[in-house]
């Protein structure tokens, strides 16, 4: 395959020059904040490794074959690179620029190598552009995937963190809710609370909604479901921490909270719960 | 034929559902329980469903119906030991069993029956 041999030989012959120019561009383009995140040595090492892997791909004879072992190695390298860029806090554009900035020195080398043969040069530049664009897209894709993974993990952790069921007293459970309630969260909250009730044989559960920023009809619906489920199991439920704004919203929305005991704060709720379990408080 | 045993403890009756309920069984229980209340003139009924792990809308309604029938026959009916999964299912099915007394376990249910004021 004539076309890729020119690129292969250009990469081999002018390796030093291409690398030098490329690294120079990378350094020049880098903003101060970017420099702080990645050291010049690390960037050099990454550039060198990329160049080696690319040379292997081009020398393999068929640079457009995306299933070859060489191509796979190059992709793996880029995926690793994108992931580390995500962790270092680079933007997706900065990550992709790493690949795209390679075009300039490569094209210069190709021009030198092809000489006056314009047809071949055009063909060669097309092949190189296509290859590099593909690689650039790979980095952006991986970058996005890695970011999504981070977001998913954080959501999962938030879910786990946000549903602690605590024992306040013998026979009294407390559930401080923090953050917006949606269906998925309410489901988890409900399940963990109900299981805890069975486990501890508690008669009263206090759901504290001080940390819930807004209550809409859906959230109210979820709360009512939880209260009903608790009642079905034979325990009682008190909702505490109803802020003035939330009380107003609930009434304006026309949500019927009748049959549900509500208290303004956790202290009142606990006092009521203690009274119901037959405990007496003395100062 | 398979039946759910109904035990008599003093003035009270205890029906323990130990197997998965199917429609015929639920109907049979309804029949047996109402006649047992009448025969023993029981003051209270405990229906223990702690071993029940699955409910559908029919069984849910049967449970609710049996409890209400008990009440009409002047026996305080307490549903005890409902599992979390069952409670969630019933709520999702829209069966909130309004007016049915519930307790965490048989012990508590019995205490509830004893504490209940009698009309006489």
**Angstroms from B108 CA to nearest CA on chain A:** 9
**Angstroms from B59 CA to nearest CA on chain A:** 15
Domain assignment present for B103: yes
Mean pLDDT of chain B: 87
The CB density around residue B7, as the number of other CB atoms within 10 Å, is 11
Residue A271: what pLDDT?
A: 92
Q: Which of B90, B91, B108 sits opposite A234 (nearest CB)?
A: B108
Give the domain extent around B77: 6-115
Is A233's Cβ below 8 Å from some Cβ in B? Answer: yes
Report, as ranges of residue numbers, the positions in chain A whose pLDDT lies below 50: 1-3
Tally of domains within chain B:
1
Domain assignment present for B120: no
CATH 3.30.750.24 location in chain A: 166-277
SS3 content of chain B, % helix, strand, coil (to 5): 45, 20, 40
| Rounded (5°) CA angle B106-B112-B116 | 150
Q: Cβ B82–A232 below 8 Å, yes or no? A: yes
Domain assignment present for B60: yes
Contacts of A109 (CB under 8 A, 6+ apart): A10, A11, A13, A14, A17, A18
CATH match for A2-158 among 1.10.3470, 1.10.490, 2.60.40, 1.10.287: 1.10.490
Is A183's Cβ below 8 Å from some Cβ in B? Answer: no
**Residue reference for tokens 């026996």:** B75
Q: What is the ipTM of this complex?
A: 0.78
Chain B positions in Cβ-Cβ contact with residue A233 (cut-off 8 Å): 82-84, 87, 102, 104
Q: Which one, of A134, A117, A246, lies nearest residue A180 by Cα?
A: A246
How far from A236 is each of A135, A178, A261, B100, CA to CA, in Å?
Answer: 60, 21, 9, 13
For A208, list phi and psi in degrees, rounded to 5: -100, 120
Q: Which of A195, A225, A233 sits opposite B102 (nearest CB)?
A: A233
Place B118 in a pLDDT band, splitting at 50, 70 and 90. Answer: low
Residue A282: what pLDDT?
A: 84
Chain B positions in Cβ-Cβ contact with residue A234 (cut-off 8 Å): 79-82, 102-105, 108-109
Residue A32: what pLDDT?
A: 67
The 10s digit of each residue's pLDDT in B49-102 is 988 888 888 888 888 888 888 888 888 889 999 999 999 889 888 888 887 889
Residue B120: what pLDDT?
A: 45
- Which residues are B46's β-sheet partners? B14, B78
**Angstroms from B89 CA to nearest CA on chain A:** 9
**Angstroms from B1 CA to nearest CA on chain A:** 30
Chain A positions in Cβ-Cβ contact with residue B87 (cut-off 8 Å): 194, 229-230, 232-233
Q: Cβ A233–B96 below 8 Å, yes or no? A: no
Closest-CA residue in chain A for B83? A233
CATH code at B21? 3.30.750.24
Q: Tell me whether residue A122 is exposed, middle or buried, using C-beta atoms within 10 angstroms of its C-beta: 0 to 12, 13 to 18, 19 or more.
A: exposed
Pairwise CA distance, residues B103 & A46, whole Å: 67
Residue B61: what pLDDT?
A: 87
> Which of A183, A195, A233 is the best substitution to test chain B (most B C-beta atoms within 10 A)?
A233
Residue A266: what pLDDT?
A: 92
CATH 1.10.490 location in chain A: 2-158
Q: Cβ B87–A225 below 8 Å, yes or no? A: no
Q: Cβ A197–B104 below 8 Å, yes or no? A: yes
Domain assignment present for B1: no
Q: Helix axis angle, A40-59 relative to A15-29, nearest 10°? A: 140
pTM for the whole structure: 0.64
How far from A57 is each of A4, A127, A220, CA to CA, in Å?
Answer: 10, 12, 60
Chain A positions in Cβ-Cβ contact with residue B83 (cut-off 8 Å): 198, 233
CATH match for A166-277 among 3.30.930.10, 3.30.1130.10, 3.30.750.24, 3.90.25.10: 3.30.750.24
Is A247's Cβ below 8 Å from some Cβ in B? Answer: no
Is B115's Cβ below 8 Å from some Cβ in A? Answer: no
**Angstroms from A230 CA to nearest CA on chain B:** 7
């Amino acid at each position: 395959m004539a076309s890729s041999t020119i690129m292969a030989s250009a990469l081999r012959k002018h390796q030093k020059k291409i690398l030098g120019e490329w690294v120079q561009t990378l350094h020049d383009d880098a903003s101060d904040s970017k420099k702080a995140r990645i050291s010049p040595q690390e960037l050099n090492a990454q550039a060198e490794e990329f160049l080696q892997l690319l040379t292997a791909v081009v020398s393999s004879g068929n640079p457009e074959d995306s299933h070859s072992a060489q191509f796979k190695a190059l992709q793996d390298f880029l995926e690793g690179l994108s992931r580390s860029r995500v962790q270092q806090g680079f933007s997706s554009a900065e990550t992709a620029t790493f690949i795209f900035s390679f075009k300039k020195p490569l094209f210069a080398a190709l021009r030198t190598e092809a000489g006056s043969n314009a047809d071949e040069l055009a063909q060669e530049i097309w092949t190189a552009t296509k290859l590099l664009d593909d690689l650039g897209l790979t980095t952006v894709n991986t970058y996005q995937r890695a970011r999504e993974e981070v977001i998913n993990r954080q959501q999962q952790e938030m879910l786990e963190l946000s549903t602690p069921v605590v024992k306040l007293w013998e026979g009294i459970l407390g559930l401080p809710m923090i953050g917006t309630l949606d269906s998925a969260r309410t489901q988890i909250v409900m399940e963990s609370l109900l299981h805890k009730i069975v486990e501890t044989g508690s008669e009263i559960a206090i759901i504290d909604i001080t940390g819930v920023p807004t209550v809409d009809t859906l959230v109210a619906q979820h709360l009512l479901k939880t209260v009903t489920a608790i009642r079905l199991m034979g325990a009682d439920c008190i909702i505490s921490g109803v802020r003035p704004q939330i009380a107003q919203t609930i009434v304006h929305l026309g949500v019927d909270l009748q049959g549900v005991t509500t208290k303004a704060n956790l202290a009142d709720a606990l006092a009521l719960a203690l009274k119901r379990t037959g405990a007496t408080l003395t100062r | 034929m398979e039946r759910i045993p109904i035990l008599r403890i003093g003035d009270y009756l205890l029906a323990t559902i130990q197997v998965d309920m199917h429609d015929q069984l639920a109907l049979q229980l309804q029949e047996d329980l109402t006649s047992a209340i009448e025969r023993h003139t029981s003051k209270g009924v405990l229906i223990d469903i702690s071993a029940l792990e699955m409910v559908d809308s029919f069984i849910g309604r049967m449970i609710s119906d049996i409890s209400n029938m008990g009440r009409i026959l002047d026996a305080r009916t307490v549903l005890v030991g409902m599992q979390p999964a069952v409670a969630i299912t019933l709520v999702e099915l829209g069966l909130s069993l309004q007016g049915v007394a519930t307790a965490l376990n048989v012990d508590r249910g019995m205490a509830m029956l004893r504490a209940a004021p009698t009309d006489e």
